[in-house]
Structure 1
Amino acid sequence: MPTASLPSYLAEDILLHPEKREFPPFDLVRLLGTVFKPTQGCRVCILTDFDEPAELIKDFNFLQQEGFPVQKKAHEAFYLGLRNGGLEKLGMSGGEMLAYKCTHGSNLDLEDEVWDTDGRQLSLEADIYPHYDLILCISTFSATAPLTAKCKVHGFRGATLHGVNDIILGSGLAVDYQEVSTDAEKMRLAMTGADEVEIDFELEDGRVITAWLGLGGQEAQKSHGLCQGEKPDIANLPAGEVYFVPRDARGHFPMKYEDGTLGVLTVENRNIIKSELIEGNQATIDAHNARLQDDPMTGTLGELGFGTQVLPVSYADIQDEKVLGTCHLATGRDDHLGGDIVPDMFKKHENSTHDDILFAPHKTPNFNIRQVRMKRGDQDEILIENFRPARYLMDALATQNDV
């Protein structure tokens, strides 16, 4: 592995033990100043979510209640950070915190009603989107897809930071996003134009199953954390990912459900058509199969992503899917990624989610990614082996090219 010209955070011992990587203290001014340059003259607000937003956001009542860890981090690290000098240092105004009704689904469209800390009901469409330059959405469920659509209409920039916790604040949001962007671009260049990717999964019983994804030579995209300039855009933070929108897919891949049940999914023509039990609860498998039968769009693969950062496990997919050596698939809407799957294509609104399926040692210890291979024209490359970046990717990260 060519470590001589690699940054210290990509050294062999850090790759093996990412928890040993040292990070500077979280600095909100540095984070926002880097991600959103320029910030001078921008009006900013913070959005968060509750089941009962009118009651809980008024006078910050949620601070007196048990639970709401993400919302409390939003208040502590972002609201107070802006109010206690951050706005002045960044040359920004505003800093209000508002709440909308929790969607209970990843990337579902938001209801229009929103409430401020005085208890007033406002409209996202009329009172928020047109009147803020920067919107920070720190929520339970991701709002990247709906905010990406709205920013193109109203012209704002922003970031989605769902699931924020102390580990994320101290690592994935403490990094230098210029470096993150540079590394993401190096990996993007190493993969862009890929015709196909194959992923071999090794199960506990020794079986190896393979998923094939047809990419059609498309240009790879990156989630790199920078949302600079005046162009409307939404950054997903923590960032650090190279991704594709699959044009075709077939084969099999394993899935670990929320209750721990393990299944093997069969894919044909880009769609998951069935799940079969490996171990656990057959009822969980039956429920998934029933959902696939009722609304087949819920099984359509909308993303293939690769992490680009060396970060500790946070036990929140928003960070853990950005870890170098991991990859993930996603089902459902992908319009925010430039894909063709939009909410209107689903039978029910609540089904129009974008759901990541992360393959990582801590998340899926019951199976291994034995190998990920890329074909690009006459070029065949190994990208990942045993949840570690292969030589090809490490060579790409070691390049000194101006990217």
Structure 2
Amino acid sequence: MPRTTILDPAKRAFPPFSLTGLLGSVFEPTQGCKVCILIDFDDPQTWITDYAFVGKEGFEVQNKAYDEFFQPLENGPASRQLGFAPVSAFSPQENVALFAYRCTHGSNLDLKDEAWNTDGQQLSLERDIYPNFDLILCISTFSATAPLTEKCKIHGFRGATMHGLNDVILESGLAVNYDDVSSDAEKVRQAMTEADAIEIDFGLEDGRVLTAWLGLEQQAAQKSHGLCKGKDKPDIANLPAGEVYFVPTDARGQFPMKYEDGTLGVLDVEDRNIIRSSLIEGKQSTIDEHNQRLTDDPMTGTIGELGFGTQVLPVSGQDIQDEKVLGTCHLATGRDDHLGGDIIPSMFKKHENSTHDDILFAPHKTPNFNIQQVRMKRGDQEEIIIEDFRPSEYILNAMGVV
């Protein structure tokens, strides 16, 4: 495959989104499988009752869940094609359901147990939903990957989280064949696994270069590859997928941060923890608020993930897809127990602080600074992984592109 094709999403042809194609490749559902869809609201009972949210402004994600997932399944044909229910005597009320829970307002925060069905009846996630469905699809405002990963191991279900769902994601990141995504992710994983450390050089507009060092202690690299096959293997797929990641055991140095209001800061890291932020440009009050949070609850600054995208996808405006783009990388702070790490919610001073927050470095997201180079050190081997937001020859060769 020509290099220009693999590296340029504008030249990649995506097939039309197919619900049966997506769920079939991700899960290989079995005959009689029961599936439910979870969506979130600030006032769940009001908006889920009699589908009051349908067609209303302000509920883009929830309406995508209804139009593109629940309706095709609830009406029958997609369910029969996927094997969610017997072909004869199909009963959507028994095998396909839609529930709402209370919005968490934070990435990967634990979910409150209350849920509501479309009749407005209050239920319990723990009692009425988790034990009674084989597949749970959470299409929400904020990611629920961490809490559902924990619950699937207890109750034995499989599922997928697809927060921030929009048209771009449907037409690209969810339209791909996940067997191919898994294959590409595995090639990159093999190229990086058992690394000793990763170094990242960030070039700022003022000419400064910041370097962050992340210790990995030769751990096996992991992959978010989208496949969740095998009814006896409880797991949660985070979609769109296509990522290789590590849980750093140590970190030091500096890296830049672009805050939601556009403020730019430099973060100082020692012993795997962000200890302070300093202003580059923007609002000093934003920097002060971050520093106060670090002082009040230091766990909020612990580095919990280092990830690298492995797919060629268009920018969606949602980090869940944009962090999967080849040539980007991201760090995350906070809980990492769902990734096999040691940071759990009980370690935070406040429940609302126990989030897992990605910090994405990508041209569209952080145009004020560049990833000049990412280097992997593995024994005597040193390889460039990314240079100027482009995958290196080492990575492209590993993927079989050049």
Partner of 2:328: 326
- Check the 8 A contact 1:109/1:146 in 2, yes or no: yes
Q: Give the TM-score normalised by the residue count of structure 2.
A: 0.96
CA deviation string 1:203-257 (max 9, x = no partner): 0111100000000000000000000012000000000000000000000000100
CA distance in 2, matches of 1:311, 1:128: 34
Answering whether residue 63 of structure 2 is matched by residue 61 of structure 1, we say no
CA distance in 2, matches of 1:38, 1:201: 44
Q: How far off is 1:17 after superposition? A: 3.1
CA distance in 2, matches of 1:188, 1:40: 33
CA distance in 2, matches of 1:27, 1:70: 18
- Check the 8 A contact 1:297/1:345 in 2, yes or no: yes
CA distance in 2, matches of 1:368, 1:208: 9
Amino acid at match of 2:349: K
Q: Secondary structure at the match of 1:63?
A: coil
Select 1:32's aligned residue among 10, 23, 39. 23
CA distance in 1, matches of 2:150, 2:81: 30
Partner of 1:343: 345
Select 1:86's aligned residue among 78, 88, 112. 78
Alignment gaps of 5+ in structure 2: 86-94
CA distance in 2, matches of 1:224, 1:335: 18
Amino acid at match of 2:59: F
Q: Secondary structure at the match of 1:55?
A: helix
Q: How far off is 1:16 after superposition? A: 5.0
Q: How far off is 1:399 after superposition? A: 7.9
CA distance in 1, matches of 2:401, 2:362: 26
Q: Secondary structure at the match of 2:299?
A: helix
- Check the 8 A contact 2:10/2:314 in 1, yes or no: yes
Of stretches 177-186 and 36-45 in structure 1, the one that deviates more from structure 2 is 36-45
Output aligned runs, 1:136-285, within 5 Å: 136-229=137-230, 230-285=232-287
Q: Give the TM-score normalised by the residue count of structure 1.
A: 0.96
CA distance in 1, matches of 2:15, 2:169: 12
Q: How far off is 1:95 after superposition? A: 2.0
Q: How far off is 1:39 after superposition? A: 3.0
Give the CA RMSD over aligned residues: 1.1
Q: Secondary structure at the match of 2:386?
A: strand
- Check the 8 A contact 2:23/2:29 in 1, yes or no: no
- Check the 8 A contact 1:54/1:115 in 2, yes or no: yes
CA deviation string 1:110-168 (max 9, x = no partner): 00000010111000000000000000000000000000000000000000000010000
Q: Secondary structure at the match of 1:362?
A: coil
CA distance in 2, matches of 1:295, 1:331: 12
CA distance in 2, matches of 1:39, 1:22: 30
Partner of 1:48: 39
The number of equivalent residue pairs is 391
Q: Secondary structure at the match of 1:31?
A: helix
Output aligned runs, 1:124-139, within 5 Å: 124-139=125-140
Of stretches 17-26 and 170-179 in structure 1, the one that deviates more from structure 2 is 17-26
Amino acid at match of 2:21: R
Q: Secondary structure at the match of 1:398?
A: coil
Identity rate of aligned residues, in percent?
73
CA distance in 2, matches of 1:238, 1:147: 16
